[in-house]
Amino acid sequence: MLVAVLAVLSASCSPSGESESAGEPPDDGASPSTPSLSPSASASDTPMSDTGTSDPPPDPASFDAARAFRTVRFLAGRIGPREATTDAYARAADWVDGRLAGWGYQVSQPAFRAPAGYSWGVQVPAGRTTNVVALPPDFDPQQRYLIVGAHLDTVPQAPGAEDNASGTSVMLELARVAATEGTRLPAVFIAFGAEEPRGEGDDWHHFGSQEYVAQMSRTERRNLVSMVSLDRVGVGSVVPVCGGGLTDEPVERDLKRAARQAQVPTFSCEVNQSSDHWSFERAGLPAARLGSTAYPAYHDETDLPPVVKPPQLKRTGELMWEFITEQ
């Protein structure tokens, strides 16, 4: 898969043909209570604080929870519901693509088909969608590497602040810092499409990560050290560490060790197969999930930015930074 991605980096893979600026996620003082689906939503605005003044530039060497929360506000408050085959998803994917490319990553959007079905009680059509895959400069798939992923899509009715703008925001902030500070092993950052179910059972869930795993070469599989899915990471005060139950939990153990070093509280989930880590784990690859705290707005139109708490984004980000740099 990574070899294929490298081969198509020079081609445009945008599903919509439209692009948005890769600038900072705006915080323009608008109320987040009603998500806007306007195609004119742009990420090029100067980021603003809640007082209406420009925020200082982020520290390139430090995870910035406020910046991550502005990404949540942009994705869930300005773009809104992002079902995988919609124009709204394509706009979000193009925006994520632009941000990652702006930090120096080699970015592509490998396309795939998602089938028609029912997503959380709502009929959804078949259609084309993409993953957004960011490789670090001079990436060599012959060497050991990490994957940090988060799904970008939502169920049709939900703006998806917690599920999963929260995970996407942490992934992006990690990618930003990693671009200047480096990681212990090369880190590939992926925004997965079509994670949300379109029917019952494994074959109707996690389409983007299933597609990614299916395209991985033997070399890529052999050299993958860890895959971590960031999914619903902005609620609560303790970070869930989850596995699918098929492996001997090496990634979970490493995540918990990183949490202790970062002084971040965690708890162990029961068997959890409901995020993109499961596509990797059931293929025999080392993977785990962070996130999954229950909350009332799950898959609901009320999953808006105020649901997400910046201190929890910070906990998850600091745990993951320890994991990708020190473990």
Q: Domain holding 30: CATH number?
A: 3.40.630.10
Q: 214: buried, middle or exposed (CB in 10 Å: 19+, 13-18, 0-12)?
A: exposed
pLDDT at 235: 98
Range of the domain at 67: 2-325
Outline where DSSP puts E strands in the chain: 106-108, 111-114, 117-119, 122-124, 127-130, 132-135, 145-151, 187-192, 224-230, 239-242, 266-268, 287-290
Give pTM, 2 decimals.
0.86
- DSSP annotation string for 267-319: EE-S---SSTHHHHHTTT--EEEE-----TTTTSTT--GGGS-HHHHHHHHHH
* DSSP code at position 34: S
| 21-25, 29-33, 229-233: segment of lowest average pLDDT | 29-33
Between 26 and 214, whose confidence is greater?
A: 214
Q: What is the pLDDT confidence band of residue 2, given thresholds at 50, 70 and 90?
A: low
**Cα distance between residue 26 and residue 237, in whole Å:** 26
Residue 294 has pLDDT above 70, yes or no: yes
State yes or no: cis peptide before 223, omega within 30 of 0.
no
For residue 123, the model assigns a pLDDT of 96
pLDDT exceeds cutoff 50 at 15: no
Residue 164 has pLDDT above 70, yes or no: yes
Q: Which two tokens stand for residue 160?
A: 């998806």
Q: Given this model, what pLDDT does residue 47 score?
A: 34
Three-state DSSP state, 112? strand
24 touches 48 (CB < 8 A): no
Rounded to an integer, the average pLDDT of 321-327 is 92
Nearest to 177 by CA among 227, 136, 209: 136
- H/E element, 219: helix 218-223
Confidence of residue 141 (pLDDT cuts 50, 70, 90): confident
pLDDT tens for 252-280 read 999 999 999 999 999 999 889 999 999 99
For residues 283 and 309, what is the distance between their CA atoms, to the nearest angstrom?
A: 34
pLDDT at 24 over 80: no
pLDDT, tens digit (0-9, with 9 covering 90-100), for 61-115: 789 999 999 999 999 999 999 999 999 999 999 999 999 999 999 999 999 999 9
Q: What is the rounded average pLDDT of the residues 118-130?
A: 96
- Mean pLDDT, range 114-121, rounded to an integer: 95
Give the residue among 199, 11, 18 at the shortest CA–CA distance from 114: 199
pLDDT at 301 over 90: yes
Q: Which residue has the higher pLDDT, 61 or 319?
A: 319
d(CA 204, CA 202): 5
Model confidence at 39: pLDDT above 90: no
Q: How many domains does the chain have?
A: 1
Q: What is the pLDDT of residue 202?
A: 81
pLDDT at 160 over 60: yes
